Structure 1
Amino acid sequence: MTSTSSLPQIVLASTSPFRKMLLEKLGLPFVTAKPEVDETPNPSETVAEMVNRLSLAKAEAIAPHHPDALIIASDQSASFQGRPIGKPHHYENAVEQLRQFSGQTVTFRTGLVVLDTRHNLTLQTLDETHVTFRSLSEIDIHNYLILEEPYQCAGSFKSEGLGITLFESIEGKDPNALIGLPLIDLTHFLRQCGLQLPYLPD
């Protein structure tokens, strides 16, 4: 059993309140840090390649400041009909996005990296989640956007909130991945790094 005294420092390389909330589910003590990473896509890379690259870059940006830690980093992007989906930023763009998604499927790719700086070990994976929207009326779209204002969310919805009311189905391994952190893969990686999960504090 991993005791509190032998537990390595765990660092979440994100200041996202949603990723913080998800990691708290595991009951592990951790701190957060903001990685300074340029998230501009490379012209020739796919969405999957970009997500993998940025997940690793976020972990590596934090690593020099935490030489004896487990660093958890994640990045997510969505695509529709093969094209990346950005944040709408305002109501009119969000309406247009949700109109396009009505009755259609959007693919979310969520990258995960655990970087064990104690042993120079990097574990990495990519989760795919397919979200099919029900047929959305104009009033469905308007009411949702007024209530939740998801203008800083790629795809114009928050699956952890009322966005779930827009869906017909979700196909994927881990519902947590859609919110921003694949906990099933994360627990596998943390066990590979020597942690006992479920974690029972001393």
Structure 2
Amino acid sequence: MSSNVSDDEDVPQLSAETFAVLQEFYKEQEERESNLVLDTDPNASLEEDWQLSQFWYDDHTIDVLVDVALKSVGDNGKIALVSCPTLYKKMRRKARENCEITLFEYDKRFSVYGKDFIFYDYKSPLDVPRDKSDYYDLVIADPPFLSDECLTKTAVTIRFLTKDKIILCTGAVMADMAKRLLDLQKSSFEPRHKNNLANEFWCYSNFNLNELL
């Protein structure tokens, strides 16, 4: 009788262990597949995660921002992309070999970009490498949320990273904050997204971006 009780107790334990192993296997498989898809074409295949407030730019917006960025820094420039991961792949492809591009991003799926990826959480705005202070010729940022708190903390990061130029893509409602925090002015270019947003979206800068369009 005691043997049967022992057997009954063993069954759910073994089942739970097997389930855990299967879950781990599926998780690893999903991560491998995500990395493979991302390395092929993030804009076409990687789904937006709306829980992270991700909204991918459309192709025209990517082309314009990449061209403006590369024109503004030259062949040997250093560019930081803060919370705008869909710019990286086209920018890396079009940039000269000596142009340094770093993606500061919360979504670890983009860690497939290797040394060009640095994990970034806007809630900890200075939790970035110390040697990146006043390092980048241009910082392009797109804070994930339209809130004073998010823009204020992202602005701290931007100020830390940049030694010169800033491009900020965010909602029209943040215009006063963009001016007050970073002394940015609205440009004539208005970024668009693959899935249209209800909020009016603007592009701000601290230099004459219009002449590079």
- Structure-2-length-normalised TM-score: 0.29
Q: Which has the higher contact order (CA 8 A, sep 6+)?
A: 1
Q: TM-score when scaled to structure 1?
A: 0.30
Mark the structure with the bigger radius of gyration: 2
Higher helix share: 2
